[in-house]
Structure formats: C-alpha cells, structure tokens
A and B are shown apart, each in its own frame.
Chain A
C-alpha cells in the first residue's frame, strides 16, 4: 500500500516537472524579506527559510516570556481577596480566552496600523519611538574599549575565585570538625554561599574600575534617531511583529492565568494554615509555601500552552508577518516543491516543540524531587 502511494507520488511529481529533491534550496529566492535577519532577493531559498525560522523563534520566545509573566499576574490576581482586582482579572481572562485568536491578531494589527506617521512619532523619554513602522527601542553596542573591559571582567572572576578558596581554607582551619559535619548537606556549597559577601564586592570593584580604565566607553546605548524620512539605529519591531506578539501573548496569557489559578488552588488548604500559624504574612504564605508547591502542578499544562503559542504563531500569514510558515508558502508558490517544503516546515515545528517539551520535562523533574 505505502509502496504504491510512494511510487505514485514520485511518478506524479516527475510528470509535473518537480522531481523530489532539495537541490532547489541553493537557487536564488528572488523575493524580499523585510523582517528579521538582513535578506537580499539574490540570497538562496535555504537562507530565506532560515530567516523564517528565526522570525518564528523570535516571536515565539518573546511571546512565551511575556505570556508567562502576564499569566502569573492575572492567575494570582483572580484569587485576590480584593473584589476589584479579582473582577478585572476574571474579565481579562474571559474576554481573551473566548475570542478567536485570528480575530484578536487582526484587531491588534488594525491598532498598530493606526499609529501616527513618522513625522508625528510618539517618543517616550527620547529613546522609545512609536509610529506606523512599529516600535524602535535603544540597543547596546560595544566600542573599541570592549575587549579591554572583557579582560578586566575575566580577571575579576579569577580574583573572586581566589577569595572563595581563601575563605574555604580559613573556615576549614577555624571551624571545628563538628561544625563541618552538622553543616550538611554540602560543606562546599555552604562555603561558596558564605563567601559571596566577600567575593561579589571584589568582582564588582574590578568590573567598575575596569570600566573607567578601558579606552573610551566599552558599551554604549544606541538610540534610534531620525535621519531623513526614517529612524536609524536601535532595534525596530515591525507593526506585523508587534500585532502578532501582542495577540499571541494576550491570548495565551489568559489560558496560563487559568493554569496558574488551578495550580494554586490544588495546593491543600492545610499548607496555607500551617504557614499562617507560623506567623507568615499573606504574601509570604503565597511566595514561600503555596507557589513553590503549585509550580510542579502548573508546569505540565503550562508546557502545552507554550507549544500552542509556538504553533499558533503560524497565523502570522493573516497579517503578512514573514514567519516560517509564510516564507514556506511563498517558496512553494515560486518553486512548486510542495512536498519537500511542507516536510521542512513540519520538521521545523516538530523540532521546536520537542525541544520545548524536553526542556520543560527536565525542569519539572528537577523541581519535583520531593514527594507530595
């Protein structure tokens, strides 16, 4: 059966003039990509595909980080004792969880497109610029003094290590063997932690002194500046990128908020009571007792949300953001190599998802060493 379909596919493809091969990847792409890594129409299809992969990764990673932060805030807020905070969080979750994601992305895109023209840019503290071309943020660039400063940093680390070793030696001499035995679980880790108040200042002094001793400023903030009709310098996120990022972040954060809420509620009531009985404040109860126990409950469903966010980023095609899927579709339109390109797209998403879940599973194993 499979053999029949395979040979049928191969003969069909050669009849159409597209034999199954990846050699087309070395050909000139001939289209422009204005998003992400610098790309010229004379670059190859392979590079075009890579630009798409990087764009997908950019929006996914940033989206995952922002959605996690927002999700935790709203998840905790839904359990607040304050009626107003609780209600705002509930409304946020219900709105963004119950409107289709595609609609939300188009909505945010409409908003970014209604930003002012370049001449009328909104500027915040002269460093953040917002206009119809998206958002411009300052970046940090290294000057010629940077290599010199890096050497100072390296010697600072060396000095700090020497301080730790001296401290450990002194403690071995001074402390009785009895203390060393009760000072479990690890004498070494305790020593390093104990030495941090001596080692960290040593490192900081060397680092700060090195900063002023290096020629020129080792690092410099580059602000976006208006040159002619456009802003130059700094880092620019296009309206498409912003709309997609905000859409994915807000939508996923509503789900993460629910995951966080249910995780916190799954921690047994006795744990809060015991923590209160010891005299901890409500904030301490939450941060020191409840959330550490909620995290292992939260992580598995959180992983699913991360995977959803990464895969949902393919909705980029609706607003013209050049992600992996969009670039792939363009390549198919130009080369007709439907099957190999779809294969490449699928493998790329698969690698991203499997890497994410492998990392999250590792993290979950690491934090659930204790039994419940």
Chain B
C-alpha cells in the first residue's frame, strides 16, 4: 500500500445510519461511515449488495429514506438548492459512460461549466481541451461519442465530471463495460487522479487497482458493510467468511 500524504483528518462525507428501500426491498441497512478529504476508498462486494446504490445516494441520484448524509457540510435533504450545490461538488462516472450522444466530446464536457458554472464558451472550451489533453485524447475533441472507442468514451466522461472542478469523484464500476484491452487506459487516468489528491469513492471489481491505490476497502454484502480495512489487511488477512470467499473467487483469475 502506498502512503497517502493527501488525506487530512477532516471528514468530507459523513453517513449516519443510511437506509434505503426499493419498495419492499431493503437495499441499504444502516450504513454509518465517513470519508476524509483526499481519501481513496474502494467499495466492492457481490452484485445486488447495495454498493452502487450507496454511492448514488451521495449525489442524490438515489434518495435515502432514513439517516443523514452530509457532504462538505451540506446535508442532503429534499431541498433542491442543497442537492444542486452538492452535485456541483461531486463528480460521477458511470458504468455505461452515459455521454450525451447528440453533443461532440468537447460539448459533453463544456455543457456543465457553461450552464452551471456560467463560464464563457471560450473559457469552458480552453478548460475542456486541457482536460482532454490530460486524458490523452485531445485529438478526439470534435468527434461524437459514438465515433470513439469505449475506453476513450469513459475518459471523456471522466473529463466531463472533472470539468465541474468537483471535490469528490464517484466511480460506479467505471471499467465493467469495457473491452479488456481498454481497461488499463481508464485505470491509468484514475491512478493519476488519485495521486493528484482527489477524494475518490470507487465501486469496482478491479482488485489490482484497489490494492495499489486504495486507502481503505469496504466490502458490502446484503446492504451492510461487513468488513472494511486497508488493502494489505483486507487481502491478506480477511476476517469475515463472506469476505474470504469473495477474495478467493475474484483472485482466482
């Protein structure tokens, strides 16, 4: 595990007893945790364990029904202004990229900065081109999402989230929809981002990435966190039976 010199002791996300139901189905059964500024947390677990739902409650794409979530001092409630404030501070990257197909890659990135941060077109485009440069795909700026590869689309999506200058980045299985040979180009970008000091919550099955980058690994099962530890402890000395089984299954291949 690499020492993360970026973390501070101030929590930027605080979750207290967060519950969520989809009709009768109890997805999140009381999640209590907090994330420090600059922390890199990897969230894993079997499908249906509530891990995606959990990170989606943090920018209110899912509404939690009980408990409190405080992001950078703002409590998530039904107050639309609070939700919009938090969404400006929290970037999100999706499994299916969700780029806007009717806009060029560049316009995908400038939409938020121009409409929400109220930047001029020129300034937004300059920033977007700089981000694409950082993602190593500046030459794809004027193409449409459908004209570039999956790995490139996901990097455009990361640039789109970063263009809002967020304090926190959420990644919801960012490499699960990619062809194997494109996974590393996306992970490289995420690694670079982690080293820049961004607070990151990553739902992923990439255990190599988790071991290398994470400060903490949280293991979800049936809506509760059953184990959380630093990567070294998590992989080499798992405590829970369920975790042991998961690790042996994922590390087999």
Q: Chain A residues in contact with chain B, CB under 8 A?
A: 182, 184-185, 270-271, 273-281, 284, 288-289, 292-293, 370-372
Please state if A184 and B142 are interface contacts (CB–CB under 8 Å): yes
- With beta carbons under 8 angstroms apart, the residue of A273, A279, A281, A293 that contacts B61 is A273
Please state if A289 and B92 are interface contacts (CB–CB under 8 Å): no
A-B pairs with beta carbons under 8 Å apart, 12 shown: A274-B94, A275-B100, A277-B59, A277-B61, A277-B87, A277-B90, A278-B111, A279-B84, A281-B84, A288-B111, A293-B101, A371-B146
Please state if B116 and A289 are interface contacts (CB–CB under 8 Å): no
Interface residues of B in 157-207 (CB under 8 A from A): 157, 160-161, 164
Give every chain A residue within 8 A of B209 (Cβ-Cβ). Answer: none
Nearest A residue to B100 via CB reads A289
Once A270-B94, A278-B87, A278-B161 are accepted as A-B contacts, the answer to whether A182 and B129 lie under 8 Å apart by CB is yes
Nearest B residue to A185 via CB reads B142
How many Å lie between the Cα of A87 and that of B225 in the bound state? Answer: 42
Give every chain A residue within 8 A of B4 (Cβ-Cβ). Answer: none
Least Cβ distance of A202 to chain B in Å? 22
B88 within 8 A of A: yes
What 4 A-B pairs have minimum CB-CB distances, sorted nearest first?
Answer: A274-B98, A278-B112, A277-B92, A371-B146
Give every chain A residue within 8 A of B111 (Cβ-Cβ). Answer: 278, 280, 288
B144 within 8 A of A: yes
Please state if B98 and A270 are interface contacts (CB–CB under 8 Å): yes
Least Cβ distance of B194 to chain A in Å? 20
Interface residues of B in 54-97 (CB under 8 A from A): 59, 61, 84, 87-88, 90-92, 94, 96
Give every chain B residue within 8 A of A185 (Cβ-Cβ). Answer: 142
Give every chain A residue within 8 A of B102 (Cβ-Cβ). Answer: 292-293, 370
Beyond the given A278-B164, A280-B116, A370-B102, could you list 4 further A-B residue pairs with CB under 8 A, ordered by the A residue number? A276-B87, A288-B115, A370-B146, A371-B144
Give every chain B residue within 8 A of A293 (Cβ-Cβ). Answer: 100-102
Nearest A residue to B93 via CB reads A277
How many Å lie between the Cα of A275 and that of B161 in the bound state? Answer: 10
B224 within 8 A of A: no
Give every chain A residue within 8 A of B88 (Cβ-Cβ). Answer: 279
Among B87, B88, B164, residue most surrounded by chain A Cβ atoms (within 10 Å): B87
Among B84, B90, B102, B146, residue most surrounded by chain A Cβ atoms (within 10 Å): B102
Nearest B residue to A271 via CB reads B98
Please state if A276 and B61 are interface contacts (CB–CB under 8 Å): yes
- With beta carbons under 8 angstroms apart, the residue of A182, A279, A370 that contacts B112 is A279
How many Å lie between the Cα of A318 and that of B163 in the bound state? Answer: 61
Please state if B101 and A277 are interface contacts (CB–CB under 8 Å): no
How many Å lie between the Cα of A276 and that of B141 in the bound state? Answer: 22
How many Å lie between the Cα of A72 and that of B231 in the bound state? Answer: 54
How many Å lie between the Cα of A170 and that of B146 in the bound state? Answer: 37
Please state if B164 and A279 are interface contacts (CB–CB under 8 Å): yes
How many Å lie between the Cα of A276 and that of B90 in the bound state? Answer: 11
Give every chain B residue within 8 A of A277 (Cβ-Cβ). Answer: 59, 61, 87, 90-92, 161
How many Å lie between the Cα of A338 and that of B98 in the bound state? Answer: 60
Please state if B99 and A274 are interface contacts (CB–CB under 8 Å): yes
- With beta carbons under 8 angstroms apart, the residue of B99, B101, B115 that contacts A280 is B115
The 0/1 profile, CB within 8 Å of A marked 1, for residues 109-125 of chain B is: 00110011000000000
Least Cβ distance of A99 to chain B in Å? 37
How many Å lie between the Cα of A271 and that of B90 in the bound state? Answer: 17
How many Å lie between the Cα of A206 and that of B160 in the bound state? Answer: 43
Least Cβ distance of A369 to chain B in Å? 8
Please state if A372 and B96 are interface contacts (CB–CB under 8 Å): no
Nearest B residue to A287 via CB reads B115
Least Cβ distance of A25 to chain B in Å? 50
